[in-house]
Amino acid sequence: MKFTLENWSYIQKKVREVGIRNAEYNSKGELQAFTTKDGERFEFSRETFEQFKNAGLLKLGLRVEEKGE
């Protein structure tokens, strides 16, 4: 599933409920995707990054921590 401003509330709720299994970053260290512990994958595009940035929803420099099961 792609990140969008419209589904951001769902994604936040999902992550809080089940947690993150792993995160994928590009060569610049930017978040590209992550998978929740129940197997749902979320993709974060450059366009989405700009939308979140313009909406004031980004905290730059914070990496997603992966937690073991």
- Does residue 19 lie within any of the structural domains? yes
pLDDT of res. 64: 56
Domain that holds residue 31: 8-54
Kindly state whether residue 25 falls inside one of the protein's structural domains: yes
| pTM, entire model | 0.70
Helix (H) or strand (E) holding 25: strand 20-25
Number of domains within the chain? 1
pLDDT value of position 42: 95
Strands 41-43 and 31-36: antiparallel
- Cα–Cα distance for residue pair 32/36, rounded to 1 Å: 14
pLDDT of residue 24: 93
Measure the CA dihedral 56/61/62/67, to 10°. 140
